[in-house]
Structures are given as structure tokens and as C-alpha cells.
Structure 1
Amino acid sequence: MSAVCIQIVEGNPHLRSLLGWHLQQVGYSVYQSASLQQAKDVYLNRKPQLVVLDSDLSDGSGLEFCRWLRQQSQPFVLILSARSTESDIVAGLRAGADDYLTKPFGMQEFLARVEALTRRSRPMVAPAILDYGDLKIDLVQRRVHLKHELIDLTPQEFSLLYVLAQAGGLPLSRSELLRKAWPDAIDNHRTVDTHVLSLRKKIEVDPRQPNLIQTVRNVGYRFNTEVAGPGLVAASNPNPNHNHRAAMHSLS
């Protein structure tokens, strides 16, 4: 994964250099600007994810530059300012800043605020494989392997298993399973029982004494993560059900 790109727009050369050095030490890619004109050129060429912006620059207001940034591709903005009154902070936030740090400040606080903002810019990565030891559920290929053997599941059986596994061991009622794992509105609870029985025959060592998909009396069913040994293997964001409505429900 490439380093997060940060632009520092700061009129004080010593502070600008110091901030840049510390950011580079923790792995960020840093570009520095001393003036608004230079800042616009750097921004348009580099498109940083975060702009650290001095509120008062020699050739204009940092708040005006912040408003200009808001018309661009929406980077995060952290304003640094010697102006510390409530009205100054409110003005900075209303100009479009995501955070406001008053000078003087500690370097650890500065780095923590940068980390918090850049963390928000990272896309959430959904798991590509649910890995439960002997049982592996491939959400991209929609395949299930048990002890390295491919298990032939119907699309509906796969969706049911996926929804149960995603619940992390919590019991789900038959109504919840119908709502989350079936593409069409169905109100027949026996449909769930029939598919659970079929699924157990394919993935349980002894379907008559199931360990993976357990019945919860007066509730419904649960996926036994204690037996399965839960874990996730992260990869690129898959669409586990290929626009199947069950995918949207199961992730809600």
C-alpha cells in the first residue's frame, strides 16, 4: 500500500521543516509549501489526502485556501493557528477544516491528530475469506472448503452459511435468516429448517449431532465459532453475493 500523501502549508520555515521530518519518520509522504500560490500548485500536482494548513500566511488567509480546497477533491484539512479563541476555532471549522490545533502544540498531539484524520481516509477492507480452520468460506468465488475438500453448495445454502458465520456466534431467529439470507420475501420458517438440514449434511461430521450449525431452542440457529476457530483473511473488497440481496442484509 502506498504511503499517505500529506501537504504542509506553513509560513514558518523551521516549523514547516520540523513537521515534515516527523511525518516522514512515521511513514508519510510529505510535500511542503511556504505560500498560498505555491500551495495551490503543489496541491493540484500531488492531490494529497491531508493538508496541514497554517491559518495565517504571508500572501493571504489560510481559511480562504481551506474554502478553495473544499471546492476540489475533498482532502482532509488540519488547521494550525496561533489564534485560539472560540470564535477563531469556529471560523476555521466553518471554513471546512476537519480539525483545528492551536499553537504552540506538542509533537505527539500533532501526530495523533494526523493519524486520526488519515485513518478516516482509508477505505474499509472487507474480508475475502472467512477462515475457520478446517472450514473456509471464499466470499469472492462463493466456494466452501472443508478440510481442503470443495463442498458443493447451492447458492441459497452458501448465503445461509455466510449469514450464520457473519453473526460471529450469535443466534439468529428463523425470521432474521429469511430476511438476511433469502433474495425474496418468504414467510415460511420451514424453509430455513429444510436448508439448515441440507447444509448440515454437507459440512457436519455427524449431521445428527451438529457441532457447526447449532439449534438454539426457542430462537433459531447459531454458527459455533468455538468449534470452528474463527479468523479472517483480508483482501480487496469483494461482493460476496454478486448483487444478491442477502449480501446487503448480512452486512447491515
Structure 2
Amino acid sequence: MVAERPQALVIEDSPEITLLVRGLLEKEGYAVIATPRGAQGLDYARARRPDLVILDLSLPDADGVEVCRALRAFSDAYVVMVTGRDDEVDKIIGLSVGADDYVTKPFSPRELAARVRAMRRRPRVASAQVKRDLGRIVIDPTSREVTVDSENVEMTKIEFDILDLLTSSPRRTFTREQLLMHVWGEWFGDDHVIEVHMGKLRRKLGESAGQPRHIRTLRGVGYRFEPV
């Protein structure tokens, strides 16, 4: 029986980049569909349920950040944002609405291929598949559901994997390198991406930025989870 090919969606208005990315992803074994428009991309995502989305930040009909936000309302696909503006603001904004990674134009096909491969083999956290009751926070690794104060909280893949790792051993400090390896598998950018995801995760847990109750930062070392 032939295994079903993973699905990829490319939302990019540059024909040259679309052609390059399509060829690269097809070589990686993906079935690819592409569109230059954000609205149509969302329609395709609802219909096709892709495993991977390559999303341009600047589209002719929509802001890529808003497309990513809308996508996250119904999809847990891996999302790589493509930006032509090489500044941290774009990168942080993109990651804060649920993107898993980003590349900046012009980018190397080899670099993008490596990141896609890393996503496909990204290890899920090997933790006991039992529900963890951590006071106001309850985590179910089997269903990948999180409740805070008895309310369901939506998590992206990255956010859940970070929280799953930290709560697998409460009060243990995980280094930045351990987080990168366990959650991302490989990383080719700067590790500032961890801080971005931690900030989003803390907000979802109802944390105060100045006085976090659960996710504690040990400067120059890493992070740990404190049950309350």
C-alpha cells in the first residue's frame, strides 16, 4: 500500500519563488498546491488540511500575519513565514501569531529544505501519556489539550511541545539548547525564537510578564515550570 504524500500549501505572490518552493517541496515528497492570494489560501487550507504551509508576509490581497492568525483558528499545520523585510519586528509578529519558523528573502533553497526536513522529523516530547494536574493548569498529552482555570486554551504545536517538555519534569531547569533540540529537532536561526514563543505561552497561561507564576526564566541558563 502506497503511503499518502504529505500536503503542502504555498501562499506566495512571486511566481519565481513559488516555482522554486514548489520544486523543492515536491523533491521532499510533498503534494503541493499554490496560490498568490491569502483568501484563496485559507479556502485551500480548509479543504485540503495541509501538513505544511509556506506563507508570504506581504500578499496582494491580505497581510500575511492576518492570514496566519486566521489559519491558526482551524489548522495546526507547520507554518513557515517568508518575509522580504529583514528586521526583527516582522519575525516576532509572525511567530507571535503561530508561525513555527521564518525565512528572509533571498533565501537559500538548501536552507529552506533543511528547515522543512527538521520539521518533519521534529521529535514529539517523549512524556508519559497521562493527564497532568498542575493546579490551575491541566495538560493532556494524548489529546494535546490544555485547560487553565477549567477553561480550554488553544495551543500551537510549538507552544504545546514547549509546555509538555517543561511540565514533564516540574522544577527541572531545561537549557535553551535542550528546548531547541527537543522541540525543534534542529535550528538554523537565532535562539531568540524561544523568547517569542515563551512570551506567547505565558500570556495564554495568564502569566504576568514581570512576575510569572509558572514559567520561570533563569538568566543565561534556561527555563523551568513551577506548579502553583
**TM (normalized to structure 2)?**
0.51
Q: Could you say which residue in structure 2 is the equivalent of 1:28?
A: 30
Whole-angstrom distance in 1 between the partners of 2:123 and 2:7: 11
Tell me which residue corresponds to 1:55.
57
For the 8 Å contact 2:78–2:100, the answer to whether it is kept is: yes
CA distance in 1, matches of 2:121, 2:8: 13
Q: Deviations over 1:195-234 (max 9, x none)?
A: xxxxxxxxxxxxxxxxxxxxxxxxxxxxxxxxxxxxxxxx
Checking the alignment, whether the CA contact within 8 Å between 1:4 and 1:49 is kept in structure 2 is yes
- 2:47 maps to which of 37, 45, 48: 45
In the aligned structure 2, how far is the partner of 1:27 from the partner of 1:37?
26
**Conservation of the 8 A alpha-carbon contact between 1:4 and 1:118:** no
The match for 1:69 is 71
Q: Please state whether the residue corresponding to 2:122 is helix, strand or coil.
A: helix
- Matched residue of 1:101: which SS? strand
State the Cα distance separating 1:121 from its structure 2 match.
8.2
Q: What TM-score, normalized to structure 1?
A: 0.47
- What amino acid maps onto 2:61 in structure 1? D
Partner of 2:107: 105
Q: Does 1:13 align with 2:15?
A: yes
Query: 1:82-97 alignment to 2 at 5 Å?
Result: 82-97=84-99
Q: Secondary structure at the match of 1:120?
A: coil
Q: Which whole-Å CA distance do the structure 2 matches of 1:74 and 1:102 have between them?
A: 23
- Per the TM alignment, residue 26 of structure 1 is displaced from its structure 2 partner at its CA by 2.5
- Which of 121, 124, 137 aligns to 1:119? It is 121
Separation in 2 of the partners of 1:99 and 1:15? 17
- Tell me how many residue pairs correspond in the alignment: 124
Once residues 123 and 42 of structure 2 are traced to their aligned partners in structure 1, the CA distance between those partners, rounded to angstroms, is 21
1:153 aligns to what? none
Distance 1:122 1:103 in 2: 30
Q: After TM superposition, give the deviation of residue 118 of structure 1 in Å.
A: 2.4
Equivalent pair of 1:49/1:121 in contact (CA under 8 Å): no
Provide the secondary structure at the position in 1 that maps to 2:95.
helix
AA aligned opposite 2:18 = R
- Looking at CA atoms only, which structure, 1 or 2, has the larger radius of gyration? 1
Unaligned runs of 5+ in 2: 127-228
Give yes or no for contact 2:35–2:41 (8 Å, CA) kept in 1: yes
Q: Does 1:79 align with 2:81?
A: yes
% identical equivalent positions: 38
Structure-2 separation of matches of 1:87 and 1:26: 30
After TM superposition, give the deviation of residue 33 of structure 1 in Å.
1.2
Q: Do the aligned residues in 1 keep the contact of 2:39 with 2:62 (CA within 8 Å)?
A: no
Displacement after TM superposition at 1:97 (Å): 0.5
1:171 maps to: none
Q: Once superposed, what is the RMSD of the aligned Cα atoms?
A: 1.9
Indicate conservation of the 8 Å contact 1:20/1:30, yes or no: yes
1:18 maps to a residue whose letter is L
Contact 1:36–1:60 (CA under 8 A) maintained in structure 2:
yes
Aligned-partner Cα distance in 2 for 1:121–1:45: 27
Taking the aligned partners of 1:79 and 1:57, their CA distance within structure 2 comes to 12
Q: Is the 8 A contact 2:68 2:97 kept in 1?
A: yes
Report the Cα distance in structure 2 between the residues aligned to 1:114 and 1:84, rounded to whole angstroms: 20
Deviation at 1:76, TM superposition (A): 1.0
State the distance in 1 between where 2:11 and 2:20 align: 13
Question: 2:168 corresponds to which residue?
Answer: none
List alignment gaps of at least 5 residues for structure 1: 125-252
CA distance in 1, matches of 2:31, 2:98: 23
In 2 relative to 1, CA 57–27 (structure 1 residues): closer, same or farther, beyond 3 Å? Answer: same
